[in-house]
Every structure is written in structure tokens, then in C-alpha cells.
Structure 1
Amino acid sequence: MKSLLLGLVLAMSAVLPAAAENWVDINDEGIHPVIMDVDSVLTDRNGSYQFWFMRSDGEFLYQEQAVIDCNNRIIHNGAGKKFTKTGRFLGAYDDSQSAPVTIRVDSTAAIYYNYFCR
């Protein structure tokens, strides 16, 4: 799975329009990749971080925006883009009306939390 998603990241970099993107796997210890665009990170300097991350469900590739609140240990998803495995853009969506989620210790969100908040 890790090599598949990393391969998709490389393929997407050739297909997507040029932008200040730097997709990095921040899950050094894990068996599955946790891909984040480190150039997209914004902070309010009060414990909140906005960033873009990439995930795959095996059939499609998603780039999604999220905000982590370190003080309250929650994550909130925002906008997103959906692509085929070959990088063809399928559409955009907005999850900003969804409720924030408490970050569980054993979740992928916990990897982002540890990256920003520890």
C-alpha cells in the first residue's frame, strides 16, 4: 500500500498543475504512508494548523484540507479534490460543514497531531 500511494504521488506531480507543493510521508515508523503537503501548512500560532493531505481508498486518490486544533485535540476536514489512480481530476467537494472529530490515539489523525502538536 505504501509503495502504491507513493507511486500515485509521483504520478500526480506530473499530472497536476504546477504549484508550491511538497508531498512528504510523515509516518516514518508506520507501514502505511501518511502523506502531507508540508508547503501548505498555515498556523495561527495558537495551536491550530491548516494543511493538505493525500489519501487513497484503493480506487481513488483524494487531496483533502484539514485543520488540527492542538489545544482541544480535534481535527476538522474542509475542501477536497478527487482523482483517478492515473491522476485525472474527477471533482472537488467541501466538507467544511462536517463536525470536528476528536483525535483517537490509534488513528491516522494522531500522526498529524503528533507532527504538529508534540
Structure 2
Amino acid sequence: MSVHIIYEVKLLLYSFLTGAGLMMTYDLLRTFRILIPHSYLCIGIEDMVFWVYAALTVFSLLYEQNDGGLRGYVIAGIFLGMFLYDRMISRFFLKFLKKFWKYLKMKLRMLFRHKRRQ
């Protein structure tokens, strides 16, 4: 295989992993929001910081791997990585986390009620 083709395939793989990594980072942010409720203002600020981080991450990928050149398949790879992560991992992880958090809160309430009765 040509060296150029291998380079393009690696660039596509990096873009795919970057998209999945961005969604993983956003899942951590959503997990933080589940554990600690936030006001709408805080959520807006957190989202703005995340999207600045995402823009800098994508710019860094393009700058370091492609000398700043914008390629459509790189952007498509990022979106595909985000989409596949969201559909394959994120949904199940967040459902599990919400159920676990409800279960944990229920157990803690039961524990505190039991302690108050004693």
C-alpha cells in the first residue's frame, strides 16, 4: 500500500477516535450533572466550555495531523465516531447510571430512616 493511503487511513482513524473521545467527555459531564443537579445557567456555561474544548480538540487534530488543512472525511469521521459512541455505548451507560443512582438514593433514604428510628 502507498504511504499516502496509509496516512489518510490513520487520519480517518484518529478523527473517528477523536469523535468518540469527545462524546465520552460529554458523557462524563452528563454523569456529573446526574450526580449533582445544576441550574440552567451552570448547564449553559458547562456546555459552552465543552464546545470550546471540542473546537480546540478538532483544530488540534487538523493542525497536528494535516498541517491545518480541512478535509471533509476528517469531519465526517469525527461525527461518525460521536454518533457510533452515542448509539453503542452512551445510551446504555447513562441508563445504567440513572438506575444505579436511583437505587443508591433509595438505599441511603432507607438507611437514614432506619437510623432516625433507633
TM class, shorter-length: under 0.3
More helix by share: 2
TM-score when normalising by structure 1:
0.25
Query: Rg bigger for which structure?
Result: 2
TM-score when normalising by structure 2:
0.25
More strand by share: 1
